[in-house]
Amino acid sequence: MVKIDPTSVAFDIDGVVADTMSLFIDIARDEFNLKNILYEQITSYSLEECLDINKEIMASIVKKLLDGNYSATLQPIKGAPKVLSRLCRKYGSVLFVTARPYPGPIKKWILENLSLGQPLIEIVTTGSFDAKAEILKDRNISYFVEDRLETCFTLKEAGITPILFKQPWNRQNNRFVEVGSWNELESLIAF
């Protein structure tokens, strides 16, 4: 079993730290009256492949999500605040690398929900899933916790060990180390 160097690990945000897909469902239900979407139906990271939603409505939901323009509450994935706080206390800082095109309200959300101080976090927005590997290599990151299976293949090719955070949209066969919870992830970190 892999033991993750706590000074050489970074994290994706959506689907790993933030329960963004539940928020997507909440926005769809509350603001667009789409009541029949279930979390388990999201079997692809490309939502248009698994959800029968008008493209314009889907784009509106995603825009609201990225801009923070919604009334629902974005929740952290269970256990994330505890483990990330522990990392900050013991090792000084945490790096988040996200394919979001801009930070929007996610930095404020992380500061508020994870109880991490401003100097203890760094958020890099890449605007592209494929751009993550270069950022991680530049920062000497060896391990990256990710929920998008396709990104894990790109990271592996770049020499970065992906840790796949299990979600309904990444259940295809793979050979990556997988975790189903932050408790499982914490047990892999060499604190």
CB distance 147 to 169 below 8 Å: yes
Q: What is the 3-state secondary structure (H, E, C) of 28-86?
A: HHHHHCCCCCCHHHCCCCCHHHHCCCCHHHHHHHHHHHHHCCCCCCCCECCCHHHHHHH
* Residue 94, pLDDT score: 93
Predicted structure pTM score? 0.94
Sheet containing 177-179, strands listed edge to edge, beginning at the edge strand earlier in sequence: 121-125, 94-98, 9-11, 143-146, 161-165, 177-179
Predicted confidence pLDDT, tens digits, the chain (191 residues): 679 999 999 999 999 999 999 999 999 999 999 999 999 999 998 999 999 999 999 999 999 999 999 999 999 999 999 999 999 888 888 999 999 999 889 988 998 888 766 678 899 999 998 999 999 999 999 999 999 999 999 999 999 999 999 999 999 989 999 999 999 999 999 99
* Residue 114, pLDDT score: 80
How far are the Cα atoms of 19, 25, 31, 44, 171 from residue 35, in angstroms, in the given order? 18, 8, 10, 19, 25
Report how far residue 182's alpha carbon sits from residue 84's, in angstroms, rounded to the nearest whole number. Answer: 9
* Residue 116, pLDDT score: 67
Domain 9-19+75-188: CATH superfamily is HAD superfamily/HAD-like (3.40.50.1000)
Report how far residue 46's alpha carbon sits from residue 43's, in angstroms, rounded to the nearest whole number. Answer: 9
Q: What percentage of the chain carries pLDDT values higher than 70?
A: 98
